[in-house]
Structure 1
Amino acid sequence: MRGFLSSSIGATSLGVTCAAALALSPALPAAAASARAERTDATGRVDEVAVPGSTRSLPLVPLSRERALGPAPEQGLYRVDVQHFSLVGVVWDDPGTELEGRVQVRNRSAATERWSGWQDVETHDEDDGADPGTGEGTSGRVRGATAPLWVGDSDGVDVRVLAGSGTTAKGRPGDPVPPLPSGLRLELVDPGDGAPPPDPPANGSLAQTDPTAAAYAADADLAPVGALEIPELNRRDTEREMSRLMGDSAGRKYIGPRPRIVTRHGWGADESLRKSGFAYTKKVKAVFVHHTASGNKSTCAQAPSVIRGIYRYHVKSMHWRDIGYNFLVDKCGHIYEGRAGGAAKAVRGAHTLGFNNNSMGIAVIGSYASAKPSGAALKAIARLAAWKLGLYGANPRGKTYLTSGGGNLYPKGKNVRLNVISGHRDGFSTSCPGKRLYAKLGTARSSAARYQGRR
């Protein structure tokens, strides 16, 4: 990537003057802000005092015999009249420890004051995350966690965690019940209230130190600084852009028209939350498709809020450097920039444990084990893959080799042949991206190839 990768690696040192944000397109879902201040206790954990855009981390406690679902150990928490939250999850101390059991949550709607029924939370989320041996994966601060669950605006919560129960538990009848992980905590996430964060001061030198300015600079090749979206391009303009970004584009004659992408600024990312700087790989050879496993109760208009919630959960609750996915897609087909560093660049994500190098992750918002993904979401996956893979000369219908960084399917160092567009389960033993979404990946491959102009 002549003149492009080199500039991307130094994105945090670029000097730029930050302009005012563009006017919000009527088609763009409303963005939201998150406040910069949080209150922490002496241990560094966020306490219960909430501000708009906040995380409250509450320790779970043993439940009484009357509330226990069975003889196995159970922990939980019941709280009413807590500060508003919209997304929940459970975390624990050791990311290497599985939660072999069942997590269920019910919430009280802030609007109706009615309690929901019990909802299962996906307990196995260790298949996401940074590759072993990377700085992000070995920080010593990363936590084990369930998938986040979107519950909507709520002011009451009831959670129960039961060891050794449910379809995710291992073992046979009569086997000892595995203990619950230590340090179980309930995370209540308020994603914020709807306006983009302010632009950084118009001082070019701030791009070196200000995380918002650095995030803007990373996408400056694609859109005006501070833009809420990267606009759609036709094929001819996309090809011209590829030539400009990549230099000599020999061997890269196939590329899909660039789709419209909502920037981080557009969905309201608080850049002060993430770790400073960006992580890059050499190229993008493959796409891994995911689902967020966050449930299917959110609307397209709420997608920016859901993304802000997942971002905050990944960073503040799980202690990742940034949101794990490179891109996210909602059921209406809107595409959102995920991990910071530049939408066209080879940003290393934390989405497919062992295969984050030279790949990118696209997550469809929702859960697709039994729910059918929308046609608009599948089209968005294909369009995004056709454009991004085209920048790096990859054929969406083809195969490629990636070297495993270590995981439960392939040992570290193994050279693995994969589809250029793969599901998460192809690189790690997991149910992600859900049976119904995984079954549609063949369609996504064919569509993406057609968008690239391949026969």
Structure 2
Amino acid sequence: MRALRATISLTVLTVLAAATAAPAAAATAGDPLPAPAEVIVDPLPAPAEVTVFALTGADGTRTDVAVDGLDDYADAPARTVVEPTGVGGAGGTPTMRMFSTSTITVDDVAVLTPPMATDDFTVAALTWDVDDALAADAQMYLRVQDAGAWTDWAPLEVDDARGDGVETTAGSEPFITGAGSAVQVQITGAVTDLPTNLRLELIPSNAATATEVTTTAAPPPAVAPAEEIAAPAVDAATLGNPVAFSPATTATAPVAVPTVVGPAGRPSIISRSAWRADETKMRWKPWEAPLKAAVVHHTAGSNSYTKAQSAGIVRGIYYFHAVTRGWGDIGYNFLVDKYGQVFEGRKGSLTASASQMVVGAHAAPANTGTVGVSLLGDYTKVDAPQVGLDAMTDVIAWRFSLAGIDATTRSGMTSTGGTYARSGYALPRIFGHGAVSSTACPGLDILDYLPTMTTKVAGKVAAGGPTTPPAVRPSPPAPTSPALPLATFYLNNAYTTQADVVFQYGHTKTSPFVGDWDGDGVDTIAARDAQVFFVRNANRVGNADTVFAYGKPGDVVLVGDWDGDGVDTLAVRRGREYHIKNSVTSGKADQVIFYGRPGDEVLVGDWDGDGRDTLTVRRGQFYYVKNSISTGVADTVVAYGRPADAVLSGDWDGDGTDTFAVRRGAQYLVKNSMASGVADKTLVYGRPTDSPLVGDWDGDGEDTFGVRRIG
């Protein structure tokens, strides 16, 4: 079974039972899901120093570190890189794929450090005196070692995003990494054109002061050259799927409860306080301007970071922008990781007035009047994760919805020239950073997706925002009505005390149902309002994918795969009469059966492993199991539990057969066989006041727990 087998809601029958023997003590007690105000994204590590390597002096002369790698260059293979060429198509129309490759030889290299082992860092960048400049024909390259493997050489671009204010240091764009432990830098061009006080800065996840490595001291120990260590493979499963579908990276991830402010329609956003922004580094007073457009970005760097490392990366970018560059705050309004987590960037972005946006520092000269949304990672040569693109879409749709912006119209802004647009080009409502600046950002794959993003944003705005399902009837409020608070779901992909997936869906007066509504093997939420069901096919904030009506407002509703086609559908119960529907649609029942007594408690499950869900009724501590959807007597009778305990059903061990679990307060006792006896596993999860949920949230074939929390 891949669905909630007992309906969990105030309007639906709660089924009770329990284990016959005393349960084993839970390994961990307490409430794993504190209130949003108490939740942090990850444990804040101890403050660590920023490591700074001097590459040139005040007169532009190279240091020892800057040239120590040149002696070994002849033994290394030529490096092939990707660079942008051209400035857009005829008439200023952005041209998406304008990239070519070139090969670097030793004669082209002005700086090459050795591979250097360092303390862990999350952001690497090059800086130089603000009144100097990197030569136009020079190119910066950087690679890092993360989790024992080297990244490919990546080009770094000059970041002139600030544009509309004084900055203390010029520099490159930040190169992100989950936990870099070694680094190497290469700069091409004429030695005489190197800027003064050129520095390599390595910023940890909780940066404190900076320590410069002097030019007279020996560099840190060199590590093996890049060519001797394989570059990390792209994690296609992680990049292509939302957080709920990536057990390898989410099983131990801490709870990330969104801290959000704003009307209905907003996506879940992790606030500055939640990702532990050090507000003492803030030196910039937020101010707002009328919102006209959205600018889409990606960062340079590695795509191999974990979900738990994302907040540390955001803190590293914050330090680089606010302190190193002297901007006083982070440049982007919002940042999105490859798992779909959204972080508030520039202070005030989350609470900006409906038609306004806080002016950021992300796309000069188009900072004013735009919202800057950046995807963490480099998508110049690889596909961007769909869950990240969807999260960016939701953020933009939320802000456009508040401002009443039609994404299909022109913004009224004009490009002064960039990689993807000529000067004078009339900018659309959603455009990439390269449309207003000479940069490859946001990468080819994201650029190609912008027309689709624009269409989706327009559709969400027309529907009332990212989380408002389409209207299917004139009067009752949709599940995300702004008049009612939203319900929050905390889903766990393992038997631990912490949620892996947190999101809001449906207002607090709706009833939740769990099922695999589209047959993809993953269980998701449907919200019931009277007899209307708003079905969501992903465990994250968003529109209902399917809306339909079935039964009567007072019916008891059950969920199951009644015909074995892999898709969960509904059945309504009226006394001992069950009206079964085999499609996620409105209409008459496909089958009507009679089973049990009107006062029986009912569970749903695949009790014999044949791929079809059937019914079980409970009387006291006895369960009367039926293995077919038909009228008749029970096939099996099992005794299990205490009369006062709540009972859930699920496939807890992935063997294809559903069994029982009993709940006592926040404690769950799981049984892996349809038999009497002691529980096979015990855990504590959530609060006693939470509504329990059961589902296969990550598609691994095993059901686990979740809870729905009100308030």
In the superposition, the TM-score normalised over structure 2's length comes to: 0.43
Summarize deviations over 1:121-157 as a string: whole Å, max 9, x none.
Answer: 432133x4123xx3x2x34x13122x22233334443
1:299 maps to a residue whose letter is T
CA deviations 1:435-455 (Å, max 9, x no partner) are 111100111111111111269
Q: Which residue of 1 aligns with 2:673?
A: none
Partner of 1:44: none
- Looking at structure 2, the residues matched to 130 and 368 of structure 1 have their Cα atoms a distance apart, in angstroms, of 22
Question: Are the aligned partners of 1:191 and 1:308 in contact in 2 as well (CA < 8 Å)?
Answer: yes
User: Is residue 461 of structure 2 the alignment partner of residue 452 of structure 1?
Assistant: yes
Question: What SS is found at the alignment partner of 1:261?
Answer: coil
Deviations 1:350-373 (A, max 9, x none): 111111111110001111112111
Given the alignment of the two structures, is residue 144 of structure 1 paired with residue 171 of structure 2, yes or no? yes
In structure 1, the partner of 2:158 is 125
Segments of 5+ residues of structure 2 without an aligned counterpart are 1-32, 56-62, 74-104, 208-255, 464-469, 471-711
In 1, the alpha carbon distance for the partners of 2:54 and 2:442 equals: 30
CA deviation string 1:46-72 (max 9, x = no partner): xxxxx43x4222202241452456234
What is the aligned partner in structure 1 of residue 134 from structure 2?
98
Instruction: Report percent identity of matched pairs.
Output: 28
Per-residue deviation, 1:84: 2.9
The question of 1:271 aligning with 2:285 is answered: no
Cα distance in 1 between the residues matched to 2:419 and 2:301: 24
Report how many aligned residue pairs link the two structures. Answer: 336
- 1:261 is matched with which residue: 265, 269, 273? 269
Q: Is the 8 A contact 1:29 1:301 kept in 2?
A: no
Is 2:204 the partner of 1:190? yes
Gaps spanning 5+ residues in structure 1: where? 1-21, 36-50, 165-175, 194-226, 239-256
Partner residue of 2:604? none
Change (3 A) 1:274 1:415: farther
> 1:290-369 maps to which residues of 2 (within 5 A)?
290-345=297-352, 346-369=357-380
Alpha carbons of structure 1 residues 30 and 183: separation in structure 2 relative to 1, 3 Å: same
Alignment match of 1:31 (pick from 34, 39, 42) = 42
Distance 1:121 1:351, change over 3 A: same
| In structure 2, C-alpha distance between the alignment counterparts of 1:367 and 1:307, rounded to whole Å | 15
Distance in 1 (CA, whole Å) between partners of 2:286 and 2:399 is 18
**Alignment partner of 1:63 is 2:57:** no
Where 1:272 maps in the other structure, the secondary structure is: helix
Residues 30 and 95 of structure 1, relative CA distance in 2, 3 Å threshold: farther
Distance 2:441 2:306 in 1: 21
Following TM superposition, the consecutive aligned residue runs of length 4 or more in structure 1 with deviations greater than 6 angstroms are: none
The equivalences for 1:278-289 within 5 A come to 278-281=286-289, 283-289=290-296
- Say whether residues 1:432 and 2:441 are aligned partners: yes
Deviates more, 1:429-438 or 1:72-81: 72-81
Q: 1:408 to 1:415 in 2, by over 3 A?
A: closer
- CA deviations over 1:183-209 (Å, ceiling 9, x no partner): 21110111129xxxxxxxxxxxxxxxx
Q: Distance in 2 between matches of 1:315 and 1:34?
A: 20
State the match for 1:89 in structure 2. Answer: 125
Which of the pair is proportionally richer in helix? Answer: 1
CA contact (8 A) 1:32 1:304 kept: no
Q: Distance in 1 between matches of 2:113 and 2:124?
A: 13
Q: Aligned equivalents of 2:442 and 2:132: distance in 1?
A: 22
CA–CA distance in 1 between the matches of 2:142 and 2:451?
35
For 1:263 and 1:401, locate their aligned partners in 2 and report how far apart those are by CA, in whole Å: 31
- Provide the residue aligned with 2:247 in structure 1: none
Post-superposition shift, 1:392?
A: 1.6
TM, length-normalised to structure 1: 0.65
Provide closer, same or farther for how the CA distance between residues 342 and 180 of structure 1 changes in structure 2, counting only shifts above 3 A: same
SS of equivalent residue, structure 1 residue 264: coil
Asked if structure 2 preserves the Cα contact closer than 8 Å seen for 1:76 and 1:160, the reply is: yes
Q: 1: CA distance between counterparts of 2:40 and 2:411?
A: 35
- Contact 2:260–2:271, Cα closer than 8 Å, also in 1: no
- Aligned position for 1:203: none
Cα RMSD (Å): 3.3
C-alpha separation in 2, matches of 1:229 and 1:452: 22
**1:280 to 1:34, Cα distance in 2 relative to 1, 3 A:** farther
Distance 1:402 1:32 in 2: 42
1:32 Cα deviation after fit: 5.0
CA distance in 2, matches of 1:118, 1:333: 23
Determine whether 1:373 maps to 2:399.
Answer: no
Question: SS of 2:123's equivalent?
Answer: strand
1:73–1:180 CA contact under 8 A, matched in 2: no
Is the aligned partner of 1:162 residue 2:187?
Answer: yes
User: In the alignment, is the contact (CA less than 8 A) between 1:289 and 1:424 conserved in 2?
Assistant: yes
Distance in 2 (CA, whole Å) between partners of 1:368 and 1:410 is 16
* Distance (Å, rounded) in 2 between the aligned partners of 1:229 and 1:443: 27
* Bigger RCO (CA 8 Å, 6+ sep): 1
Distance 2:187 2:257 in 1: 43
Alpha-carbon distance between aligned partners in 2 of 1:23 and 1:95, rounded to the nearest angstrom: 49
Q: What is the CA–CA distance in structure 1 between the aligned matches of 2:204 and 2:35, rounded to whole Å?
A: 23
Match status 1:229 vs 2:258: yes
Equivalent residue for 1:205? none
Supply the distance in 2 between the matched residues of 1:74 and 1:292 (Cα, whole angstroms): 25
* Residue 182 of structure 1, CA deviation: 2.1
Using a 3 Å threshold, how does the CA distance of structure 1 residues 385 and 436 change in structure 2: closer, same or farther? same
Distance, in Å, in 1 between the alignment partners of 2:388 and 2:178 is 22
1 CA distance for matches of 2:180 and 2:156?
Answer: 22
The higher radius of gyration belongs to 2
Structure that is richer in strand per residue: 2
Question: Is the Cα–Cα contact under 8 Å of residues 90 and 184 in structure 1 kept in the other structure?
Answer: yes
